[in-house]
């Protein structure tokens, strides 16, 4: 696994090579990815850490994200843009993949009204209609969880028992057969935590799971959130939160989230108890309705 110090050193080195003055790198967040503010430059480096566990080539996902967000920014959509102070990437340095983004001041405590979140998701989907490049079909929903299941099955993991792992695998295989419907470019992780409240308004962020999928996937992300009334948000989008077409995607979102929380506990052993609690919740209700 990539250490925090190695990731910071690699990001600082790449930025300096491109003429960016970095004096005080500050870690903003280290959970699924490492985000580093390269002070005094208004640049944030994103380095895959936990997410690298489910991706054979983390730089590939970064490249898709940069392409999608560059397209949306050029079209005037409300997104946190890639950095203009150096090529956004993806870059590789000393085995570390990274991308670079504009630093945008935001208020993480500002609540997003559900009606606003739903309408903004509908507008985002409309803006994505013209994206000209091919995206992987349901890759973050099907391929990445499969890799995480293999990771959790390795000797020494101890987070998941054999019977629990069998249930997780069975659910993944079943859902893979149920996730049908026409696909299009979607955000991939469209919960309100990825809508940043900035002085210039709400901006979508974190497109690393962008993919080709039915829009029901993004709606399931909204429906499962605990940050707002997901049902109201889905209605504001123009969809029925009780629609039968959402059920499989809601279950898939619940499974995906459970696996990523378990994977994160492999990097942060002090989070093992919380990860086990999330797993127990899923085992009690694999429909994804319980959060």
Q: Is 136 within the bounds of a domain?
A: yes
Band of residue 157 on the pLDDT scale cut at 50, 70, 90: confident
| In a domain? residue 291 | no
Q: Are residues 181 and 52 in the same domain?
A: no
**47 has a pLDDT exceeding 80:** yes
Residue 81 lies in a domain: yes
Instruction: Based on the fold, state whether residues 125 and 254 are members of the same structural domain.
Output: yes
Does a structural domain hold residue 107? no
pLDDT value of residue 74:
97
What is the total count of domains within the chain? 2
Distance CA 48, CA 33 (A): 5
Provide the pLDDT confidence category of residue 40 given band limits of 50, 70 and 90.
Answer: very high
Establish if 208 belongs to a structural domain.
Answer: yes
CATH code of the domain in which 165 resides: 3.90.1200.10
- At residue 183, the pLDDT reads 96
Do 261 and 141 fall within a single domain? Answer: yes
108 lies in a domain?
Answer: no
At which of 53, 80, 102 does a domain end?
Answer: 102
How far is residue 116's CA from residue 131's CA, in Å, rounded to a whole number?
23
The mean pLDDT value of the chain amounts to 95
The answer to whether residue 144 scores a pLDDT higher than 80 is yes
Domain shared by 130 and 271, yes or no = yes
Domain with 42 in it: 4-102
Q: Are residues 138 and 81 in the same domain?
A: no
As to burial, measured by CB atoms within 10 angstroms (0-12 exposed, 13-18 middle, 19+ buried), residue 167 is middle
């Amino acid at each position: 696994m990539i250490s925090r110090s190695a990731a910071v050193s690699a990001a600082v080195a790449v930025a300096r090579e491109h003429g960016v003055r970095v004096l005080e790198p500050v870690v903003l967040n280290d959970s699924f990815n490492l985000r580093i503010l390269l002070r005094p430059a208004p640049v944030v480096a994103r380095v895959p850490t936990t997410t690298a566990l489910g991706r054979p080539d983390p730089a590939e996902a970064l490249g898709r994200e940069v392409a999608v967000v560059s397209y949306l920014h050029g079209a005037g959509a409300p997104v946190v843009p890639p950095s203009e102070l150096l090529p956004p990437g993806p870059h590789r340095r000393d085995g570390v993949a990274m991308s670079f983004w504009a630093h945008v001041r935001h208020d993480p405590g500002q609540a997003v009204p559900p009606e606003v979140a739903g309408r903004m998701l509908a507008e985002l989907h409309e803006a994505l209609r013209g994206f000209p490049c091919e995206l992987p079909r349901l890759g973050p929903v099907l391929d990445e969880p499969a890799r995480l299941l293999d990771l959790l099955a390795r000797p020494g993991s101890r987070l998941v028992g054999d019977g629990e792992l069998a249930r997780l695998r069975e659910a993944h295989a079943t859902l893979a057969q149920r996730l049908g419907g026409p696909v299009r470019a979607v955000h991939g992780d469209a919960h309100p935590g990825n809508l940043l409240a900035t002085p210039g308004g709400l901006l979508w962020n974190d497109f690393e799971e962008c993919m080709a999928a039915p829009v029901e996937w993004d709606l399931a992300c909204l429906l499962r959130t605990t940050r707002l009334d997901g049902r109201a948000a889905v209605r504001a989008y123009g969809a029925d939160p009780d629609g039968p077409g959402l059920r499989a995607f809601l279950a898939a979102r619940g499974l995906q989230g459970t696996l990523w929380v378990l994977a994160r506990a492999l990097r942060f052993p002090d989070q093992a108890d919380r990860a086990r609690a999330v797993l127990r919740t899923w085992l009690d209700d694999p429909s994804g309705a319980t959060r």
